[in-house]
Amino acid sequence: MEAGFVGLGIMGRPMALNLLRAGHRLRVWSRRAESMRPLIDAGAIACDSAAQAAQGAQVVFSMVADAPDVKQVALGERGVADGAARGCVFVDMSTIAPGAARSIAARLAERGIDMLDAPVSGGEAGAISGSLTIMVGGNSNAFERVRPLFECLGKSITLIGDSGAGQVAKACNQVVTGISVAVIAEAFNYARVNGVDGERVREALLGGFAASRILDNHGGRMLARNFKPGFKAWMHQKDLRIVLDEAHRLGIALPAAAATAQLFNAMSGSSLGEDDSIGVLKLYERLSGGVGP
Amino acid sequence: MEAGFVGLGIMGRPMALNLLRAGHRLRVWSRRAESMRPLIDAGAIACDSAAQAAQGAQVVFSMVADAPDVKQVALGERGVADGAARGCVFVDMSTIAPGAARSIAARLAERGIDMLDAPVSGGEAGAISGSLTIMVGGNSNAFERVRPLFECLGKSITLIGDSGAGQVAKACNQVVTGISVAVIAEAFNYARVNGVDGERVREALLGGFAASRILDNHGGRMLARNFKPGFKAWMHQKDLRIVLDEAHRLGIALPAAAATAQLFNAMSGSSLGEDDSIGVLKLYERLSGGVGP
C-alpha cells in the first residue's frame, strides 16, 4: 500500500520500519531531519512536510507527543489535510485526549479525510517486535481499510467504537497499568520492611487472583532492580495528566488514578522521572523503612 | 492422617470436607454446633472444644474471623495447646496481622507445638473446588509434614518464609487485588461516561500489559452486573484495615491501599457492604456521570 508516516521518534521509527519491511511503500517526514535517515536507508521516500508525506497515500500515520502536535500535523500549514486526496485515512497513533481526537476528526471529515485514533500499548519493545496492542476509534469502513497495515504493527487490534473511543481505551489502559505498577511496588515494599522476600510473594501471588502481566513482567524487573525504561515515569505522568484533565472536564471521579499521579509527579520532581515507571519502588523505599539494596 | 479442624464457616466447611474426602480422619469443633452437622454426616468426629479436636491429631487447622479468635482457639481455655501432643502442628488459615501470627506462634513453641500461618486466596469457590492459593509462614519441616493436607485444599502452595510471612504475602495479595478491583471499576466508569462500551475496553486491555485475572474474572462480572459474592466488600474492608493498622505500627506508607480502603469504607456505609467487592463500580457510578443500567 502507499502510506505516509509522520513522527519518527522512539515509537514511530520502529513502527515505520515494520511497515517498510512488510513491503509497503512509505513516504516519511519528521521535524528532525536526522530522524528520517534510518528510514531512507531502508527504502522510504523523504518528504519536507506532512502534506508531502500524504501525497498519493491511502493512509497517513502520525506518532507524535501531544494534541497540539497532532493538530499541527493534521490541520496546520503544509499539514496532512493540505496534501491528502479525498478518501485518504489519517491514523493518529499518539496518546492524546479523546476530545482532542474527536475535534480533529471532525475538521478532517469536512475535507473528505477519515480519521482513526489508534493509540498503542506495549512500549518500544512492542513497537520493534510488531506486537503492540492497538486501540482504535473511528468508522469501521476506514478501520477495515487500514487493518492490513495495523497487522504489521501489532498483535491485539480492537475497534473500540466511534471517533475518540481508541483514546478512551488507552486512557483506561494507562490508568490500570499505572496504578498496577504502583500497587505492586507498594506490596513489595511492605513485604521488604516485614523482612519477607518479594520474589516468594510474587510467585505466590502469580498463582491466584492477583496474577497479572504487570506483576509478572514489571514486578520481576522491580525485584531485579532493573529500572531501565521501558516506559519512562514522566511519560506515564503525562498520560495520567491527560486522563485527569479530561475527567475534570467531564466531571468523572478517578481517585485511584489521582493518587497514583501524585507518585509519578514526585518521581519527576526527584530525579526518578527518566527511570521506568517501575522506579516508583524507589519512591516507596524512600517513604518508609529505608532504601533497599 | 489424623487432623483437627476448628472453624466451619463459609470457608472452613468446604475445606474440612475436602480433607475428609481425601481420606483423612478429621475431628471438628465449631462454636456454633449446627455448623458441625454436614461434617459429621460426612464422617468427621464431633468435639466439644478445640482442645478435644486437637487430641491425637498430627495437624490442627483453624479458619476463624480475626486475631482474637485465633488466640482463643490456640491458647484460650480448652484451646489447642491444652489438647495437642508435643510435635503437633497448628495451622491457622485465617487472615490476621503478621505480628499477631508471630506472637501466637512464639507462645505455642513454648508448649512444643509448631505453628504455620497459612492464609488463603480464592474465596468460597476456591475452597469448594480445592483450588485455593495458600501462602505459608513457618519452618520448612512443619511445612513438609502438612503439605499432603495442603494439597487437598489448594493448587498454588508456597512457603513464603518464617513465621508471619504467610500473612505478609496475604496482606500483599489483598492490597493488590483490592486496588485492582477498584481501578478496573474506575476505568469502566470512565469509559461509560465517555459513551464507550466497557466490554470492548476489557477485550482490548486483556491483549496488553493491563491483562490480569481481576480484569478477566472480576471485570467480566462487573460488566455483567453480577454483584453476588464471591468475596464481600466488608471482608475486603476488614483485610485492608488489618494491613493499614500494621503499616501504621511499622511506619510503612501504603497510599494506594489507604485510598482504596476509603472506597470499601464508603461501600459498607452505603448498603453495598454485602455486595461482592466488585460492587465498587456502583460507588463510582454514584460519584460521577449518573448510575449505569
List pLDDT tens digits, range B83-137. Answer: 999 999 999 999 999 999 999 999 999 999 999 999 999 989 999 999 999 999 9
The span from the CA of A246 to the CA of A167, in Å, is 11
Binning pLDDT at 50, 70 and 90, where does residue B18 land? very high
- Cα B283 off chain centre by: 24
Residues B279-292: what's their mean pLDDT?
83
Q: pLDDT per residue over A17-30, tens digit each? A: 999 999 999 999 99
More confident residue, B291 or B212: B212
The span from the CA of A257 to the CA of A282, in Å, is 19
Neighboring chain B residues of A188 at a CB cutoff of 8 Å: 172
Residues B220-246: what's their mean pLDDT?
95
In this predicted structure, the answer to whether residue A61 has a pLDDT above a threshold of 70 is yes
Please check whether residue B143 touches A, CB under 8 A: no
ipTM surpasses cut 0.90: yes
The span from the CA of B86 to the CA of B5, in Å, is 18
Burial (Cβ within 10 Å: 0-12, 13-18, ≥19) of residue A103: middle
DSSP per residue over A74-136, as a string? HHSTT-HHHHPPTT-EEEE-S---HHHHHHHHHHHHTTT-EEEE--EESHHHHHHHT-EEEEE
Q: pLDDT per residue over B31-85, tens digit each? A: 999 999 999 999 999 999 999 999 999 999 999 999 999 999 999 999 999 999 9
Taking a C-beta distance cutoff of 8 angstroms, is the pair A114, A81 a contact? Answer: no
H/E segment holding residue A45: strand A45-46
Q: pLDDT per residue over B166-196, tens digit each? A: 999 999 999 999 999 999 999 999 999 999 9
Binning pLDDT at 50, 70 and 90, where does residue B291 land? low
Q: pLDDT per residue over A92-143, tens digit each? A: 999 999 999 999 999 999 999 999 999 999 989 999 999 999 999 999 999 9
Q: Which domains does chain B have, with CATH numbers?
A: 2-161 (3.40.50.720), 168-287 (1.10.1040.10)
> Rounded to the nearest 5 degrees, what angle is found at the Cα of A196, between the Cα atoms of A192 and A200?
110
Cell numbers placing B248? 501504621
In this predicted structure, the answer to whether residue A86 has a pLDDT above a threshold of 60 is yes
- Choose the weakest-confidence range: A220-224, A249-253, B213-217: A249-253
Tell me what pLDDT residue B169 has: 98
The span from the CA of B84 to the CA of B88, in Å, is 6
Mean of per-residue pLDDT scores for chain B: 96
| E strands in B112-188 | 114-117, 120-121, 132-137, 154-161
Q: How far is B289 from chain A (nearest CA, A)?
A: 7
**A160/B200 touch (CB, cutoff 8 Å), yes or no:** yes
The span from the CA of A189 to the CA of A286, in Å, is 10
Q: pLDDT per residue over A211-242, tens digit each? A: 999 999 999 999 999 999 889 999 999 999 99
Tell me what pLDDT residue A230 has: 84
In this predicted structure, the answer to whether residue A9 has a pLDDT above a threshold of 80 is yes
Q: pTM for the whole thing?
A: 0.94
Please check whether residue A223 touches B, CB under 8 A: no
Considering chain A, what percentage of its residues have pLDDT values greater than 90? Answer: 95
Tell me what pLDDT residue A288 has: 83
Residues A80-89: what's their mean pLDDT?
97
Residues A4-8: what's their mean pLDDT?
98
Residues B21-33: what's their mean pLDDT?
96
Binning pLDDT at 50, 70 and 90, where does residue B289 land? low
In this predicted structure, the answer to whether residue A289 has a pLDDT above a threshold of 90 is no
Judged by DSSP in three states, A186 sits in helix
Please check whether residue A52 touches B, CB under 8 A: no
**A158/B207 touch (CB, cutoff 8 Å), yes or no:** yes
Option in B156, B160, B190 nearest A200 (CB): B160
Please check whether residue B164 touches A, CB under 8 A: yes
Option in B173, B218, B255 nearest A259 (CB): B255
Neighboring chain A residues of B262 at a CB cutoff of 8 Å: 255
In this predicted structure, the answer to whether residue B292 has a pLDDT above a threshold of 70 is no
In this predicted structure, the answer to whether residue A290 has a pLDDT above a threshold of 90 is no
Neighboring chain B residues of A180 at a CB cutoff of 8 Å: 180, 183, 210, 212
Tell me what pLDDT residue B293 has: 43
Active-site residues of A: which are they?
170
Determine the straight-line distance between the first and last CA of chain B, rounded to whole angstroms.
52
Say which residues have a Cβ less than 8 Å from residue A7's Cβ, sequence separation at least 6: A30, A61, A62, A63, A64, A69, A73, A94
Q: CB-hemisphere CA count at 13 Å for A139?
A: 11
In this predicted structure, the answer to whether residue B245 has a pLDDT above a threshold of 70 is yes
**C-beta atoms surrounding B189 within 10 Å:** 27
The span from the CA of A189 to the CA of B176, in Å, is 12
Mean of per-residue pLDDT scores for chain A: 96
Binning pLDDT at 50, 70 and 90, where does residue A293 land? very low
Please check whether residue B187 touches A, CB under 8 A: yes
- Strand-pairing partners, residue A154, are A132
Tell me what pLDDT residue B172 has: 98
The span from the CA of B288 to the CA of A254, in Å, is 9
> Rounded to the nearest 5 degrees, what angle is found at the Cα of B76, between the Cα atoms of B13 and B119?
40
